[in-house]
Amino acid sequence: MNSSAPSVLAIAAHPDDIEFVMSGTMLRLAAAGWNLHYFNLANGCCGSMTLDRQACAAIRLSEAQQAAELLSAKFYAPICNDLEIFYTRDLLAKVASVVRQARPRIVLTHALYDYMEDHQNAARLAQTAAFAKSMPNFITDPATQTCGIEVTLYHAQPHGNRTPLGEIVRPTHYVDVTDQLETKRQLLLAHASQAQWLDETQKLNSYIVALEELNSEVGKFSGRFQYAEGWRKHLHLGFCSAGADPLRDALGNSIHVELEQRE
């Protein structure tokens, strides 16, 4: 990594979440000279109908490490089991330590309202960890030097581009990932163990098709791009200056930002 380059930290719930809704944006930022950091909070241990927890977690760890390597991203090990991402002091201390280590200008994370609570709680942990990164009296696990770099948070589209109550969510920031779509496919294919699991449990008969449909719908929302990833910028208070928008500034013609958020 280039020690003088800015960093982006992706904080997601499970192995393959980054690939679904964040990886195209990360690829764009890498091309613009940014360092990439890759962090799944849960180990994926519940993602199988046939393997036991330990075997499943081991396979999913290997798959996530492979995907991070394909992204040329720094990998951070998971900190808990699936369905155990809770907003607790212990997990917050671990997430905050990673934020301080990565020293990000941008944090990418889940929507605050998504189809499962692991995603929602991951977003909440990411939010508070970024808020606390410069507070010396908040002790992280492991203890890590504070970070005073201004950070901007962006929330990804919820899966299905809808809230848990089925309401359509339209982003304010649209990142063109049309040219990155094939690489996104390869990154998702690194998570080979999930093909059967997602089919049997969530009726995603092809997770590659699900990826394409998600990015295609966001592209249609944009009115500009064939395939896109969508983002909503977190309120600046406590994180960055009022006008800060490093994602917009970094990506130039590859991003479209709407002046007002549509509900």
Q: Output the CA–CA distances (angstroms, integers) from residue 10 to 15, 47, 74, 139, in the order listed.
A: 12, 21, 10, 22
Q: 60-87 b/e with 16+ CB inside 10 Å = b?
A: bbebbebbbebbebbbbebbbebebbee
- The reply to whether omega before 171 is within 30° of 0 (cis) is no
Q: What is the pLDDT of residues 41-72, one digit of tens each?
A: 999 999 888 889 999 999 999 999 999 999 99
pLDDT at 262 > cutoff 60: no
> pTM to 2 decimals?
0.94
Do the Cβ atoms of 246 and 173 come closer than 8 Å? no
95: closest CA among 29, 40, 51?
A: 40
Q: What is the pLDDT of residues 124-177, one digit of tens each?
A: 999 999 999 999 999 999 999 999 999 999 999 999 999 999 999 999 999 999
- If one counts every other C-beta atom within 10 angstroms of the C-beta of residue 105, the result is 23
CA of residue 254 relative to chain centroid, distance:
19
CATH fold for domain 7-257 = Rossmann fold (3.40.50)
Task: Provide the pLDDT for residue 200.
Answer: 59
